[in-house]
């Protein structure tokens, strides 16, 4: 699940750095403190105009993308995918033969991108990943032959699950921890993808973080963030998980800097500099507000959606690093590959799971894209900074009555009756439907 998107206040946009979505009642829990923090966060970071733990972008690398895209395609991708909440006119200007993009808000420096005059004269797009169409022919039973797929099981699980707030327990039954569930699905999925010919790489294959940093490494930064945002003497005591004031503590802030920002940024370094996949699959389970984790609310709602990168907010584009990452992603044309993959995988998952498509309660942060009805564009940290096509899966509501019963039933072969219906194990259904969707997409695209 991804965290927390608000239906009631746009300044909550800062959380879209996160790679987690928390819905409905989680949103209510977001305190007025958070509101204050996010509302002023651009001021806080004004010195360098960078996102949290972001690094200064090197705009020179975009020189390699000169004349690789036409005016019309650039405008289409901005209007319909990346800047669906408006193009910030003072930061991105499109002329007939070039675009001017402010590279540093402080200095006012501008990067100029020259368009290709027409599709036939487009220069080669520099990128390390390979679109399906460019892969060599393969045997019919190996539709993923030659393909490098990285699996990114969301969150950490294990001893970190409570800290990540990806933990709940009904009575004295086995606790539900998203990071462990996603790892289990990833291992099952890896076997299936290898059988289909893929080379499978794990972004994480244990409950240990990829980042070497720990919350204590972020104590000073957490304190600084709190002080600069109107908490003059931040507290450090541990507060009840239900107490919204916990978000104003050094403890809570430094933990989030560790398990969300630092961890995902390190995963990106691994993906971009070592794994070099053609596709990353981010695997999650969804949830809706469960209230007290030790006495969670189970609900009737269960649903499915997938995410690709896009739908940037104006506040996000005001940060120099996010604006750069958006333009680089646009120019790499990752969207042209990840959208049809997401659509095909979504169709396969919808069929296998019978889950209805999730409808975001607001269009403030997401934009529905594609043809399956299950895919949204959204600017999450992972979908933005992994430099290749990324498909982010959000099936099953863990605290739905059905989802919870299936998680508690564990993994098994064949089918079992759960809530009156014969079902595969939720883990196998997830892994099988993703693998089948990928096989469908690559079989068709490599014909
Ligand atoms: Zn998640």
In a domain, 105, yes or no: no
Reduce the DSSP state of residue 78 to 3 states and report it.
helix
CA of 118 to the centre of ligand 1 (A): 41
Q: Are 322 and 51 in contact (CB under 8 A)?
A: yes
CA of 179 to the centre of ligand 1 (A): 8
CA of 430 to the centre of ligand 1 (A): 14
CA of 52 to the centre of ligand 1 (A): 20
CA of 233 to the centre of ligand 1 (A): 32
| Structure token pair of residue 146 | 């030659």
CA of 103 to the centre of ligand 1 (A): 32
Domain holding 137, by residue range, is 10-67+128-445
> Across the 447 residues of the chain, what is the mean pLDDT of every consecutive 10-residue run?
41 31 28 38 58 94 97 98 95 97 95 96 92 91 97 97 96 97 98 98 98 97 89 82 86 95 97 98 96 95 97 95 98 98 98 96 90 96 97 98 97 96 97 98 93
CA of 267 to the centre of ligand 1 (A): 15
CA of 259 to the centre of ligand 1 (A): 12
| Domain total of the chain | 1
CA of 287 to the centre of ligand 1 (A): 8
Rounded to an integer, what distance in angstroms lies between the CA atom of residue 317 and that of residue 90?
11
In a domain, 87, yes or no: no
**Of 27, 30, 24, which Cα lies nearest the Cα of 397?**
24
**Of 145, 46, 65, which Cα lies nearest the Cα of 387?**
65
CA of 57 to the centre of ligand 1 (A): 28
In a domain, 279, yes or no: yes
CA 52-266-165 angle, to 5 degrees, is 70
In a domain, 311, yes or no: yes
CA of 332 to the centre of ligand 1 (A): 26
CA of 285 to the centre of ligand 1 (A): 6
What pLDDT does residue 3 have?
56
CA of 395 to the centre of ligand 1 (A): 10
CA of 421 to the centre of ligand 1 (A): 26
In a domain, 73, yes or no: no
User: What's the distance, CA 118 to chain centroid?
Assistant: 33
CA of 296 to the centre of ligand 1 (A): 17
| Structure token pair of residue 25 | 């009642």
What pLDDT does residue 231 have?
86
CA of 145 to the centre of ligand 1 (A): 29
Rounded to an integer, what distance in angstroms lies between the CA atom of residue 323 and that of residue 328?
9
In a domain, 334, yes or no: yes
Which residues have C-beta within 8 Å of that of residue 356, sequence separation ≥ 6?
302, 303, 304
| Structure token pair of residue 443 | 């079989």
CA of 157 to the centre of ligand 1 (A): 11
CA of 82 to the centre of ligand 1 (A): 22
Rg of the chain over CA atoms, in angstroms?
22
Q: Give every strand in the sheet of 279-283, ordered side by side.
A: 199-202, 148-153, 279-283, 390-395, 304-308, 375-377, 367-368
Rounded to an integer, what distance in angstroms lies between the CA atom of residue 11 and that of residue 313?
10
**DSSP single-letter state for residue 358:** P
What pLDDT does residue 42 have?
39
In a domain, 109, yes or no: no
Rounded to an integer, what distance in angstroms lies between the CA atom of residue 214 and that of residue 48?
24
CA of 4 to the centre of ligand 1 (A): 11
CATH of the domain at 273: 3.40.630.40
CA of 2 to the centre of ligand 1 (A): 5
How far CA 352 is from CA of 296, 396, 415, 423, 434, in Å, comes to 27, 12, 13, 10, 10
**Of 250, 187, 175, which Cα lies nearest the Cα of 215?**
250
| Structure token pair of residue 408 | 């508690």
In a domain, 384, yes or no: yes
Rounded to an integer, what distance in angstroms lies between the CA atom of residue 370 and that of residue 384?
18
CA of 16 to the centre of ligand 1 (A): 13
Q: Are 406 and 417 in contact (CB under 8 A)?
A: no
The residue behind tokens 């006012």 is: 108
The residue behind tokens 């790499």 is: 332
CA of 205 to the centre of ligand 1 (A): 16
């Amino acid at each position: 699940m991804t965290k927390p998107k608000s239906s009631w206040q746009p300044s909550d946009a800062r959380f879209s750095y996160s790679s987690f979505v928390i819905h409905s009642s989680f949103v209510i829990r977001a305190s007025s403190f958070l509101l204050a923090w996010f509302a002023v966060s651009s001021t806080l970071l004004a010195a360098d105009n960078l996102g949290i733990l972001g690094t200064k972008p090197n705009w020179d690398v975009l020189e390699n993308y000169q004349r690789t895209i036409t005016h019309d395609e650039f405008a289409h991708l901005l209007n319909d995918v990346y800047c669906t909440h408006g193009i910030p006119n003072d930061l991105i200007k499109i002329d007939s033969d070039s675009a001017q993009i402010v590279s540093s808000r402080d200095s006012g420096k501008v990067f100029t991108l020259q368009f290709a005059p027409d599709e036939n004269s487009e220069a080669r797009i520099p990128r390390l990943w390979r679109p399906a169409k460019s892969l060599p022919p393969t045997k019919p039973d190996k539709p993923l032959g030659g393909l490098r797929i990285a699996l990114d099981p969301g969150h950490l699980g294990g001893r970190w699950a409570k800290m990540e707030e990806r933990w709940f327990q009904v009575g004295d039954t086995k606790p539900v921890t998203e990071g462990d569930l996603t790892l289990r699905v990833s291992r099952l999925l890896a076997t299936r993808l290898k059988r289909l010919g893929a080379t499978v790489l794990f972004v994480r294959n244990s409950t240990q973080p990829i980042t070497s940093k720990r919350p204590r490494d972020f104590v000073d930064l957490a304190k600084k963030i709190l002080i600069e945002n109107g908490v003059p003497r931040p507290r450090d005591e541990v507060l009840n998980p239900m107490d919204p004031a916990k978000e104003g503590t050094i403890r809570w802030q430094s933990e989030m800097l560790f398990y969300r920002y630092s961890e995902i940024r390190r995963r990106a370094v691994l993906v971009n500099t070592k794994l070099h996949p053609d596709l990353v699959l981010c695997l999650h389970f969804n949830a809706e507000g469960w209230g007290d984790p030790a006495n969670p609310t189970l609900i009737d709602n269960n649903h499915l959606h997938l995410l690709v990168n896009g739908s940037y907010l104006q506040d996000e584009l005001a940060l120099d690093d996010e604006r750069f990452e958006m333009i680089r992603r646009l120019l790499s044309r990752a969207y042209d590959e990840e959208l049809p993959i997401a659509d095909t995988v979504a169709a396969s998952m919808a069929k296998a799971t019978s889950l209805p498509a999730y409808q975001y309660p607001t269009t403030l942060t997401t934009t529905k894209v594609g043809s399956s009805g299950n895919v949204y564009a959204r600017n999450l940290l992972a979908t933005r900074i992994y430099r290749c096509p990324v498909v982010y899966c959000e099936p099953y509501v863990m605290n739905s009555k059905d989802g919870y019963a299936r998680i508690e039933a564990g993994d098994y072969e064949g089918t079992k009756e759960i809530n009156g219906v014969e079902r595969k194990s939720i883990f196998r259904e997830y892994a099988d439907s993703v693998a089948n969707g990928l096989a469908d997409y690559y079989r068709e695209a490599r014909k």
